[in-house]
């Protein structure tokens, strides 16, 4: 078991690795079995009532909108269905009335490690960037890095007093109300979307934390904003949906590694072909709203491609810009007991940030890529780009330099950059080569064809969820199925697949899984994706089934398995069964509905990240980040 210990001033006990080596997704077992109150019976009752009611209707063309509100309304249903649910509920209450002790899945040493970390808030536990495992760091060093790398930049971040924070949030809430009223009156914003936005607007700020870029030397950090439940969350989710509508109509966008491989393996390349990758420098903080909103507006209103995108996607450009102005200029976040406003760039952590960044630079790509016929193939995934460069003349370096300069020239003549002195988005380019790394792919040119394998970082600790974590048993099957499917999709040569799966198998053994448990799952997945009845996602027909009802329960090893709930459902709720004790009805209008599926949805227990590294209270009780920042600023001024 391993983790990354970056503490300089605190001696971390050696037994800490036994806990953090489990990975921060590990869930400790609860102390007792579930009680009836832990079973979401009321939620199931509401779902069951609505299922019976709506499936009695002949209306089948209803499509749920992407943003909607769950109603508290519960419809009336025939008495026989009520009786069935009451019996189902009574049996669960009876069976779960006696609590049982749950066996712990942490050793005494691991419990000791958890207590030590909870008793020593001067040590911060958090994740490395790129999913490279847990980290421990001195609290003072963590705050120092947040200040040095990010918060000391007064152009990008403004410190707010508690009163300024409160006033700003109230202003933002008024702006959101105005947005909803204006665009609902203009009939662009449906009632259900207005309800969603308003019910997901709050007085809470978002929360700021760091990921450590341990793969970089010297150490750098990535700022992360936990945005869920914050002031603009509802409007930001709505904006994300609107921007996502545009993406299928735009060129050069990479949607997945699988799509990239599918396109690349069809190419025939000359000997002169070379690969190139590009990486945007701090993309989010260098997309400035004043320039970006003008570009988006012109694109959607004046450009031939843009106007067709707006039409096909059903986008109102003015409404989109209005929402962007609210979301992107009001990213208010907390860092300990301090409050901040992001002043420049794309609002970090917001749901629309990825599609917004993608669309912003796609407008520039739409104008320039065709000017470079040497760029035989080009795709970009947010801030990472990949291309195949085939020289057209005897001056390949000159043309390549022109391409690099053109990529970095987006908005260079715009008044915003001249006035502020800021630079347009900059890019770092690799040299031309016969091999490259893009996303999670090793890409190379072999005999005029593209070959791809799976790229894995050397620092990755592969901290898969251990078998004794308080997770649903289906997690393992899904993990292995994903490994096999990933190998099938991303390796162009089958000779590379077996070594990758052997490594995956060994890594699971290293995490404590038994060969007799995982080997059948590997065989099943391999048979599914490589056997005679190979699954083809694009052509497989789906068998139409009735919508299931959903029973939400907590994962608890001391509880009965999902088969218990399914058997109970079959005996009491499945409507193909009838019970002679049911009260007969003389109402001839009473309808009959088939409810033959129930899905048991498991909710995991709190994981180590939630326990040791919560987004609130990360620094310990009564600790003042404000005081620490004041000392740092005082030292900097000496």
Q: What is the mean pLDDT of residues 513-524?
A: 96
> Alpha-carbon distance 345 to 327, whole Å?
12
> Alpha-carbon distance 518 to 504, whole Å?
11
pLDDT of residue 64: 56
**In this model, does residue 567 exceed pLDDT 90?**
yes
pLDDT of residue 305: 97
| DSSP-derived 3-state class of residue 443 | strand
> Alpha-carbon distance 294 to 303, whole Å?
13
| DSSP-derived 3-state class of residue 190 | coil
> Alpha-carbon distance 75 to 87, whole Å?
19
Q: Rounded to 5 degrees, what angle do the CA atoms 8, 9, 13 make?
A: 85
**In this model, does residue 119 exceed pLDDT 80?**
yes
pLDDT of residue 62: 46
Q: Two tokens at 592?
A: 């009959």
Which is nearest to 605 in space by CA: 474, 476, 469, 513?
Answer: 469
**433 located within any domain:** no
Q: Which residue's structure tokens are 């536990």?
A: 125
Read off the pLDDT band of 634 (50, 70, 90): confident
**54 located within any domain:** yes
Q: What's the number of domains the chain is made of?
A: 1
**85 located within any domain:** yes
Secondary structure element (H or E) that encloses residue 313, with its range = helix 304-313
pLDDT of residue 473: 85
Give phi and psi for 398, each to the nearest 5: -65, -45
pLDDT of residue 535: 36
pLDDT of residue 541: 43
Q: How many C-beta atoms surround the C-beta of residue 491 within 10 A?
A: 22
- Lowest mean pLDDT segment, chosen from 43-57, 464-478, 540-554: 540-554
> Alpha-carbon distance 638 to 628, whole Å?
16
Task: Name the percent of the chain lying above pLDDT 90.
Answer: 80
pLDDT of residue 52: 87
**365 located within any domain:** no
pTM of the model: 0.87
Q: What is the mean pLDDT of residues 408-420?
A: 93
State in Å, rounded, how far the first CA of the chain is from the last one: 44
pLDDT one-digit tens code per residue, 8-19: 999 999 999 999
> Alpha-carbon distance 99 to 174, whole Å?
49
| DSSP-derived 3-state class of residue 297 | helix
**142 located within any domain:** no
**In this model, does residue 532 exceed pLDDT 60?**
no
Contact status, residue 19 vs residue 601, Cβ threshold 8 Å: no
**86 located within any domain:** yes
Q: Which residue's structure tokens are 């227990």?
A: 605
pLDDT of residue 59: 45
Bigger pLDDT: 468 or 539? 468
Q: Which residue's structure tokens are 């707006």?
A: 310
**59 located within any domain:** yes
Q: How many C-beta atoms surround the C-beta of residue 288 within 10 A?
A: 21
pLDDT of residue 545: 58
DSSP structure string for 23-90: -TT--PPPSB---GGGS-HHHHHHHHHHHHHHTTS--------SS-----------HHHHHHHHHHHH
The DSSP symbol for 128 reads: B
pLDDT of residue 458: 87
Work out the mean pLDDT of the chain and round it to a whole number: 91
The DSSP symbol for 137 reads: E
| DSSP-derived 3-state class of residue 439 | coil
Q: At what angle do helices 353-368 and 289-302 cross, to 10 degrees?
A: 60
| DSSP-derived 3-state class of residue 533 | coil
Q: Two tokens at 273?
A: 């072909």
Q: What is the mean pLDDT of residues 37-42?
A: 94
**165 located within any domain:** no
Q: At what angle do helices 162-185 and 191-199 cross, to 10 degrees?
A: 170
Q: At what angle do helices 304-313 and 233-246 cross, to 10 degrees?
A: 120
Range of the domain at 64: 36-98+556-603
pLDDT one-digit tens code per residue, 363-383: 999 999 999 999 999 999 999
> Alpha-carbon distance 627 to 631, whole Å?
6
Give phi and psi for 270, each to the nearest 5: -75, 170
3-state helix vs strand vs coil in the chain, percent to 5: 45, 15, 40
**In this model, does residue 576 exceed pLDDT 60?**
no
**In this model, does residue 586 exceed pLDDT 90?**
no
pLDDT one-digit tens code per residue, 372-412: 999 999 999 999 999 999 999 887 789 999 999 999 999 99
């Amino acid at each position: 078991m391993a983790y990354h210990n970056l503490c300089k001033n605190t001696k971390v006990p050696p037994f800490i690795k036994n806990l953090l080596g489990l990975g921060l997704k590990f869930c400790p077992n609860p102390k007792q079995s579930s009680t009836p109150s832990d079973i979401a019976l009321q939620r199931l009752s509401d779902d069951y009532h609505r299922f019976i009611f709506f499936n009695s209707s002949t209306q089948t063309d209803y499509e749920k909108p992407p943003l909607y509100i769950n109603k508290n309304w519960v419809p009336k249903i025939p008495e026989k269905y009520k009786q069935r649910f009451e019996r189902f509920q009574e049996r669960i209450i009876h069976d779960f009335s006696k609590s049982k002790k749950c066996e712990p899945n942490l050793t005494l040493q691991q419990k000791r490690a958890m207590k030590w970390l909870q008793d020593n808030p001067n040590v911060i536990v958090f994740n490395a960037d790129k999913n490279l495992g847990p980290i421990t760091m001195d609290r003072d060093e963590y705050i120092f890095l947040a200040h040095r790398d990010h918060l000391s930049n007064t152009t990008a971040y403004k410190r707010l007093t508690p009163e300024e924070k409160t006033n700003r949030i109230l202003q933002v809430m008024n702006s959101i109300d105005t947005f909803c009223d204006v665009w609902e009156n203009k009939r662009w914003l449906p009632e259900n979307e207005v309800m969603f936005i308003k019910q997901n607007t709050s007085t809470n700020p978002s929360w700021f934390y760091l990921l450590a870029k341990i793969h970089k030397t010297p150490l750098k950090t990535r700022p992360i904003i936990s945005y869920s439940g914050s002031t603009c969350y509802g409007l930001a989710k709505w904006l994300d949906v609107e921007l996502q509508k545009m993406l299928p109509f735009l060129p050069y966008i990479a949607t997945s590694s699988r799509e990239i491989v599918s396109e690349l393996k069809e190419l025939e390349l000359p000997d002169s072909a070379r690969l190139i990758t590009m990486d945007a420098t701090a993309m989010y903080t260098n997309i400035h709203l004043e320039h970006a909103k003008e570009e988006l507006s012109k694109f959607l209103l004046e450009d031939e491609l843009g106007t067709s995108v707006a039409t096909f996607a059903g986008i109102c450009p003015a409404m989109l810009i209005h929402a962007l102005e609210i979301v992107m200029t009001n990213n208010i976040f907390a860092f300990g007991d301090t409050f901040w406003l992001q002043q420049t760039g794309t609002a970090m952590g917001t749901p629309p940030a990825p599609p917004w960044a993608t669309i912003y630079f796609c407008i520039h790509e739409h104008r320039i890529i065709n000017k470079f016929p040497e760029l035989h193939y080009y795709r970009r995934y947010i801030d990472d780009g990949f291309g195949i460069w085939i020289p057209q003349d005897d001056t390949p370096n000159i043309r390549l330099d022109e391409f690099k300069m053109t990529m970095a020239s987006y908005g260079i003549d715009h008044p915003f950059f001249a006035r502020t002195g800021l630079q347009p988005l900059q890019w770092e380019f690799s040299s031309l080569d016969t091999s490259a790394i893009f996303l999670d792919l090793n890409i190379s040119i072999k005999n005029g064809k593209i070959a791809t394998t799976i790229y894995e970082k050397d620092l990755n600790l592969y901290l898969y969820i251990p078998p004794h974590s308080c997770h649903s048993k289906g997690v393992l099957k899904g993990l292995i199925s994903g490994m096999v499917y990933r190998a099938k999709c991303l390796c162009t040569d089958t000779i590379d697949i077996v070594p990758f799966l052997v490594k995956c198998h060994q890594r699971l053994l290293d995490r404590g899984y038994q060969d007799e448990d995982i080997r059948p799952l590997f065989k099943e997945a391999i048979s599914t994706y490589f056997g005679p009845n190979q699954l083809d996602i694009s052509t497989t027909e789906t068998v139409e089934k009735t919508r299931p009802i959903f029973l939400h329960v907590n994962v608890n090893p001391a509880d009965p398995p999902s088969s218990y709930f399914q058997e109970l459902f079959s005996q009491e709720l499945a409507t193909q069964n009838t019970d002679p004790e049911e009260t007969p009805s003389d109402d001839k209008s009473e309808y009959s509905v088939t409810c033959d599926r129930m899905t048991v949805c498991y909710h995991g227990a709190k994981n180590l990240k939630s326990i040791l590294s919560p987004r609130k209270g990360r620094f310990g009780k009564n600790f003042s980040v404000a005081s620490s920042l004041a000392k740092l600023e005082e030292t900097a001024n000496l």
